[in-house]
Amino acid sequence: MGEEVNMAAATATAAAAAEEEESTVLPTTTSTTATATTTTKQPEVLHFVLVHGISGGAWCWYKIKCLMENSGYKVSCIDLKSSGIETSDANSILSFNDYNQPLLDFLSTLPENEQVILVGHSAGGLSVTQASHMFGRKKIRLAVYVAATMLKLGYLTDEDFKHGVPDLSGFGDDVYELGFGLGSDQPPTSAIVKKEYQRKIIYQMSPQEDSTLAAMLLRPGPIQAILTAQLTEADSSDDGVERVPRVYIRTIHDHVVKPEQQEAMIKGWPPKNVYVLDSDHSPFFSAPFLLFGLIVKAVASVECD
């Protein structure tokens, strides 16, 4: 009887040991299998390059940059010559190529297979167009114009000036503070909207704190360089400006690039899609969530085609 008890105990002990051994082996096998199957390709991260208008700077985009980065996108904001923290004097920038060089240099340093979405505001549209000519579809996935100058070849005709140059005469004859770097008998080389007019003209629907910030950071812009911007087909890369998809975002309460000017440029060089914002000239301040949504929607509309 004692042997039977001892044998039963021994059998139970052996079974328990076998069960314990089995339980220590199985997780190791499972872990090895799980490790072997976790080699999935990482999704592509879209890269947005944001370009300011005259007198502005990379700082203009601070709200949009936050929204984009919080959503997982990569964002680069460019300071063109004499803008933001770039130290050049606007009166010394006399050619558009010189003014736009920071954007062109940035695009030139991108990895060979990387494409970006260019977003240009106001006169930044000229910068986007020149970049599209030079780099084409190889580097530029999409060009987005936000209340921007959208002229295929820049300022070549009287009609181009009529459609693409802000006309602020309705606010009086003394709206701009001008600089004459080449002498008082020569055309102005720089311009900035005077502080007392800035909110009324540029930021009338924007939060007070944003227009206050802008008044502290706006700098004279190289007006001569911008108004002499002329782009030719000879500037185009092999795949050309026409192969870069374009989207225009209209701002219907704009006092700078007026709605009728925007409509004329859209008609003159039709983009793939047009969206409308109920905003002033500066939707990155007055309607940042809506602007962010439209930019992302613009990318999706092109990717789905």
Could you give the count of Cα atoms lying within 13 Å of 189 in the half-sphere of its Cβ?
Answer: 17
**Residue 262 and residue 255: Cα distance in Å, rounded?**
11
Burial state string for 62-96 with b = 16 or more CB within 10 A and e = fewer than 16: ebbbebbeeeebebbbbbbbbbbeeebebbebeeb
Residues facing residue 249 across a β-bridge: 146, 275
Give the closest residue to 142 by CA, choosing from 117, 122, 163.
117
**Residue 39 and residue 81: Cα distance in Å, rounded?**
45
3-state secondary structure of 145: strand
Q: Which residues are catalytic?
A: 122, 254, 281
